[in-house]
Amino acid sequence: MSTAAGIGQANELKDLCLNLALKAREASRKLALVRGELKNAWLLGSAHALVERSSEILAANARDIADAPTHGLGAAAIDRLRLTPDRIASMARALGEVAALPDPVGEILEASRRPNGLEVRKERVPLGVIFMIYESRPNVTVDAAALALKSGNAAILRGGKESLATNLALMGILEAELTRAGLPRHAVQLVPTTEREAVGCLLGLADLIDLAIPRGGESLIRRVAAEARMPVLKHYQGNCHVYIHDPCDIAMGVKIIVNAKTQRPGVCNAAETLLVHREVASAFLPRAARELRAAGVELRGDAEARAIVPEMVPAVPSDWDEEFLDLILAVGVVDSLDEAIEHINRHGSHHTDAIVTTDLESARRFVAEVDSSAVMVNASTRFNDGGELGLGAEIGISTDKYHARGPCGLRELTSTRWVVIGSGHVRGA
């Protein structure tokens, strides 16, 4: 980019990003004041239009699928990219579910009358502009737009270039419905270039964009976190643990680790490591191993685990830190609750960790001392999910401690502000 032409292109890209963000900021000012009814009208109108115009969407998607090999996509990625009438119906259903959620904007979180008579309240307001960066699944385009708008925020969306035609078709529909509902046209925008530098450029605009949300592989998330000058809602990994304590209900423990590992192995709240207390290891491990292996799980055990179940592959040290996202499970035997907690806090990703025990005090200690976004007692790690915890749809899961931790729904896309009403109050001291 040291040639004049290169610099010209860089400036053009900068202008394009700035313009996009300025339009989003302006739309966000208007959106913050919009009543919930209008936002719901847009959500329901869009749900209807997605189904009605599904042939357009499918045609665009077919072009992306045809081009997929040129982007080097494998079979799994192509499957994620592919839309069907069923998948479009499920996108539409998701819009209806978001419409049914309560509007977080304007919610009054606290209110009091101060001793001097001032009326004081803290109320919920939108964050402003949200920039979402994601990979191949086109349903994220619809979900992210819905959650951002329902929470009163403007959205800038950047999908993968392999899904560009599909995303443009979806956006055309969402935009037409914005106009029809009387909402600002730039409330949702797609980044209008596939140039990679556009992402970095937008991540620098901290005055115009309030939050960045990367969704995809760890390398994408790390790149966004490193470049963003605004807050980032994220988790890098879900290296989740199930710890089988003594005393426990062994059948329950088997059921929970099988569910946590195998029900959907590719997601962030699936278990990656099983820890077992020495006292129950010889009773628990053979039964668990039998069921896990029957479900196709490769077990990588430490020396003690392998002494009990010799079919296990020997675990190497890096296995304790790995998010397999696959039918692989690291298995270790520990001496005590303390050792389990210590292992989880050191090797885990502070995402979701579970204990299986019948002892109340051990459960209380595990809950108090494991430093994760969600801690489970006698329940599968898979329950760390916005829908399961009662938040409704989620835009992602945060393992950070600042702002929001755990599943992030509509409320987590908002801020607050104070409103103070007096009758000529002034301060004396």
Contact mark string toward a second copy, 118..137, x via CB under 8 A:
x-x-x--x-xx---------
Q: Which is nearer to a second copy, 144 or 173 (CB)?
A: 144
Instruction: Give the Cα separation of 218 and 237 in Å (integer).
Output: 7
User: Given the rule CB under 8 A, which of 28-36, 69-77, 171-179, 320-328 is the region that contacts a second copy?
Assistant: 28-36
Q: Could you say whether residue 151 binds a second copy (CB under 8 A)? A: no
**Residues near 299 by Cβ (< 8 Å), separated by ≥ 6?**
289, 292, 293, 305, 309, 311, 312, 313, 329, 331
Q: Could you say whether residue 343 binds a second copy (CB under 8 A)? A: no
Q: Which is nearer to a second copy, 143 or 385 (CB)?
A: 385
Residues that bind a second copy (rule: CB under 8 A) add up to a total of 62
Classify 396 as helix, strand or coil: strand
Tokens 């959205």 belong to which residue? 155
Q: What's the closest the beta carbon of residue 182 comes to a second copy, in angstroms?
A: 18
- Return phi, psi of residue 243, to 5°: -115, 125
Closest CA to 319 of 336, 307, 309, 305: 305
On the question of a cis peptide bond just before residue 247, with omega within 30 degrees of 0, the verdict is yes
Q: What's the closest the beta carbon of residue 371 comes to a second copy, in angstroms?
A: 8
325: left (phi over 0), alpha (psi -120 to 50) or beta: left
Q: Which is nearer to a second copy, 80 or 365 (CB)?
A: 365
Q: What's the closest the beta carbon of residue 220 comes to a second copy, in angstroms?
A: 19
Q: Which is nearer to a second copy, 17 or 260 (CB)?
A: 260
Instruction: Give the Cα separation of 199 and 15 in Å (integer).
Output: 13
Closest CA to 420 of 164, 214, 74, 114: 114
Q: How far apart, in Å, are the Cα atoms of 1 and each of 9, 90, 223?
A: 8, 44, 21
- At 88, the amino acid letter reads I
| Total Cβ atoms within 10 A of residue 301 | 26
Q: Which of 249, 279, 321, 326 binds a second copy (CB under 8 A)?
A: 249
First to last CA, the chain: 59
Q: Could you say whether residue 93 binds a second copy (CB under 8 A)? A: no
Instruction: Give the Cα separation of 331 and 271 in Å (integer).
Output: 11
Q: Could you say whether residue 367 binds a second copy (CB under 8 A)? A: yes
Q: Which of 375, 393, 408, 410 binds a second copy (CB under 8 A)?
A: 375
Q: Which of 1, 74, 310, 417 binds a second copy (CB under 8 A)?
A: 417
Q: What's the closest the beta carbon of residue 379 comes to a second copy, in angstroms?
A: 3
Q: Could you say whether residue 380 binds a second copy (CB under 8 A)? A: yes
User: Given the rule CB under 8 A, which of 236-244, 306-314, 323-331, 397-405 is the region that contacts a second copy?
Assistant: 397-405
- Counting Cβ atoms within 10 Å, is residue 203 exposed (0-12), middle (13-18) or buried (19+)? buried
Q: What's the closest the beta carbon of residue 374 comes to a second copy, in angstroms?
A: 4
379: tokens are: 């329940």
User: Given the rule CB under 8 A, which of 2-10, 116-124, 320-328, 329-337 is the region that contacts a second copy?
Assistant: 116-124
Q: Could you say whether residue 11 binds a second copy (CB under 8 A)? A: no
Q: Could you say whether residue 420 binds a second copy (CB under 8 A)? A: yes
Q: What's the closest the beta carbon of residue 255 comes to a second copy, in angstroms?
A: 6
DSSP code of 336? S
Q: Could you say whether residue 12 binds a second copy (CB under 8 A)? A: no
Instruction: Give the Cα separation of 176 and 182 in Å (integer).
Output: 10
Q: Could you say whether residue 67 binds a second copy (CB under 8 A)? A: no
Q: Which is nearer to a second copy, 111 or 316 (CB)?
A: 111
Give DSSP secondary structure letters for 260-296.
HHHSSTTSTTSEEEEEEEHHHHHHHHHHHHHHHHHTT
10: part of which helix (H) or strand (E)?
Answer: helix 4-31
Q: Which is nearer to a second copy, 315 or 395 (CB)?
A: 395
Q: Which of 154, 312, 384, 408 binds a second copy (CB under 8 A)?
A: 384
Q: Could you say whether residue 368 binds a second copy (CB under 8 A)? A: yes
Q: Could you say whether residue 389 binds a second copy (CB under 8 A)? A: yes
Contact set with a second copy (CB under 8 A): 29, 32-33, 112, 114, 118, 120, 122, 125, 127-128, 210-211, 231, 249, 252, 255-256, 258-260, 263, 345, 363, 367-369, 371-380, 382-384, 388-390, 401-403, 405-407, 415-427
